Amino acid sequence: MAHPLWQIRPDTTYLNHGSFGPPSLPVIEARRQWQEELDQQPMDVFVRRQEAALLAARQRLASWLGTSADNLALIDNATWAMNVVAESVVLGEGDNVVLSDHEYGAVERIWQRACLRSSAELKTAVLPSRFEDPDEVVDAVLAACDERTRLIVVSHITSPTAVTLPIARICERARQQGIAVCVDGPHAPAQIPLDLDQLGCDFYTASCHKWLSASFGSGFLYVHPQQQTSIRPLLLSWGKLPPEEPSNWYDDFLWLGTRDISALLTIPVAIDVLEEIGLEHFRQQGHQLACFARQQLVEKLGARCLVADDPCWYSNMAHVELPVQDASGMQQALWDQHRIEVPVVHWQDRWFIRVSCYLYNEQAEVEQLVEAVAGLLSR
């Protein structure tokens, strides 16, 4: 193990922090302590301490993300947050929602259902086949929009393809045309700097159990002040615990019936951990290893990349296309034969490998991966 604060199972070479980012030891300990107190005296925890703890966690996250706490709801994950947006955005018959062709499958499903229910149309913006010029990406997104477009849904860092998209420029152009933007950002927090107020989007959905390494089941929904009156929580409970009553958009996310929200409460600890390590150092180290991974995969496998070799397009994930027609068994084979965890992605009838580089990863692990993939490809 290359970092004392992360304890990956010893048999595993874990190169998939982007899917599920194991929490650091301080995060695990913070959660364990909260759960222990909860299990021994639930009244004291749920009724007397939970709301204040949740609001404090929200405040810390909001400051870290460059926005006001009033614009943030803590939610288990980005998928949940995206469902809230889909429930809240009013679509009329004939309106449309534009998604890029790099969006996450579950997000597509969410918007298919939302559009179907409202007799609205789901449109796809086809992004460039090679990412070299940010303006080309912005143009491609806006080209798919028309006067009936109510919302653009676009990833900050795409999931199947690991591309960092020029979100600020997309938001700027969309705003000029009066179109709202929902940024799907589960891969962004910690991996890249984030200033939500400056970004200018209407909604931002994210998970904190990826690059921020908070506990599993932690994320948030950012809502621009202009959109807050339209927010409809999916789950309705008391809002605030009686005798108080919910009075703003966020209150209905505070109390969703009895459940364990300790994962959300680890967010401040996760921020502390990365700040102590140094976010610049964290990003540089990860990016350097991702560069190395990309270079090795290109050189040793003859793999191609979707993005130019520029940090504006990728940070801590290396992503290459595998030079093979069918890699459907490869992810499982890498695990079975080499105990390597890495996603082998099927996207647009091609196969890709996405290598996440975190603080605990080492160059030797990447070399091991490249060798293993080369071996599997040569069969």
Instruction: Give the tokens for residue 111.
Output: 């918007």
Closest approach of Cβ 284 to a copy of itself, in Å?
25
Tell me: does residue 46 bind a copy of itself (CB under 8 A): yes
Q: Reduce the DSSP state of residue 228 to 3 states and report it.
A: helix
Instruction: Give the tokens for residue 205.
Output: 């959905």
Tell me: does residue 22 bind a copy of itself (CB under 8 A): yes
| CB 156, CB 188: distance < 8 Å | yes
| CB 152, CB 310: distance < 8 Å | no
Residue closer to a copy of itself, measured from CB, 43 or 52? 43
- Position among 71, 158, 161, 215 found at the interface with a copy of itself (CB under 8 A): 215
- Position among 3, 19, 284, 304 found at the interface with a copy of itself (CB under 8 A): 19
Closest approach of Cβ 133 to a copy of itself, in Å?
32
| CB 252, CB 246: distance < 8 Å | yes
Tell me: does residue 12 bind a copy of itself (CB under 8 A): yes
Residue closer to a copy of itself, measured from CB, 35 or 63? 35
Tell me: does residue 336 bind a copy of itself (CB under 8 A): no
Closest approach of Cβ 113 to a copy of itself, in Å?
6
| CB 264, CB 17: distance < 8 Å | no
Q: What is the DSSP string of 1-61?
A: ---TT----TT-EE--TTTS-PPPHHHHHHHHHHHHHHHH-HIIIIIIIHHHHHHHHHHHH
- Position among 23, 185, 189, 268 found at the interface with a copy of itself (CB under 8 A): 23
Residues 57-86 touching a copy of itself, rule: CB under 8 A, are 76-80, 83
Distance CA 19, CA 283 (A): 17
Instruction: Please give the backbone phi and psi of residue 319, each rounded to the nearest 5 degrees, phi first.
Output: -145, 120
Q: Site residues (CB under 8 A) for a copy of itself?
A: 7-9, 12, 14, 16, 19-23, 28, 31-32, 35, 37-44, 46, 76-80, 83, 105-106, 109-110, 113, 207, 209, 215-217, 234-239, 242-243, 256-260, 263, 335, 341, 346
